[in-house]
Amino acid sequence: MYAIRLVGVFLALCVAQAQQREIGILAGGGWAAGLPVQGAPAAASAGFQTAAAGGVLLSQDLYRHWSGEIRYLFEQRNLRISLGGTTAAFAGQAHVLHYDLIFHTRPVQERVRPYLAVGGGMKLFRGTGTEAAYQPLMEYAYLTKTQELKPMLTVGGGVKVRLGRRMMLRFDVRDQITRFPRKLIAPAPGMTLNGWLHDLVPVVGLGWLF
């Protein structure tokens, strides 16, 4: 429901204002530092492996320096537990939908436009592997075939470069900030996993103006 409302708000803005719009595709990857497993006798950590991401965006220039943007990303996010040189992994993915306000340091008519972004949305974490009675490092945490939806804050920035009249190239990075999904990576009895997950997602995008 929250994602549907975000889409509705953005489409209403598009109808209300006759400003330049952009639709684009995105490709990149993501990296997130693991959280320590508290209570473990050794330095165990849990989190997600680095992997690819891709998606789409819809953007609109609202004012001289401001625009609004909604984007969806599919991210390959395999779950992991690590201890020393040993790592246990479990197939996983994430679906991300968010709306950002974009502040450009240069006005809309400029060819190169650096920008800052802040916004929010939702992130759906999914474990997609095959569960087994025994998992390596299961004395610290369990990697589960379930899903967990988390509210998300996004911050970041990048640069847009206009390629001719109808095409836009962009480079940017977002920090997707959520609470750690403890149903997906469940701490074992006597262990604790608690804190914020910072998922850094750099992308390259190609957009078409209309």
Q: How many whole angstroms separate alpha carbon 59 and alpha carbon 158?
A: 14
Check whether 4 has a pLDDT greater than 80.
Answer: no
For residue 190, pLDDT beyond 70 = yes
With bands split at pLDDT 50, 70 and 90, how would you rate the model's confidence at 85? confident
Which domain, by its residues, includes 91?
A: 2-209
The predicted model scores a pTM of 0.86
Instruction: Give the closest residue to 33 by CA, choosing from 181, 203, 195, 197.
Output: 197
Positive/negative CA dihedral, 182, 188, 189, 191: negative
Residue type, 126: R
Structural domain tally of the chain?
1
Burial class, 133, CB count within 10 angstroms (exposed 0-12 / middle 13-18 / buried 19+): exposed
The CATH number covering residue 129 comes to 2.40.160.20
Mapped onto helix, strand or coil, the DSSP state of residue 106 is coil
Overall average pLDDT of the 93-98 stretch: 98
Distance in angstroms (rounded) separating the CA atoms of residues 197 and 107 = 34
pLDDT in tens, 133-183: 899 999 999 999 999 999 999 999 999 999 988 999 999 999 999 999 999
pLDDT tens figures, 122-134:
999 999 999 888 9
What are the tokens at 203?
A: 């992308």
DSSP-derived pairing of the beta strands 35-36 and 66-76 = unpaired
Question: How far apart are the C-alpha atoms of 119 and 101, rounded to whole Å?
Answer: 6
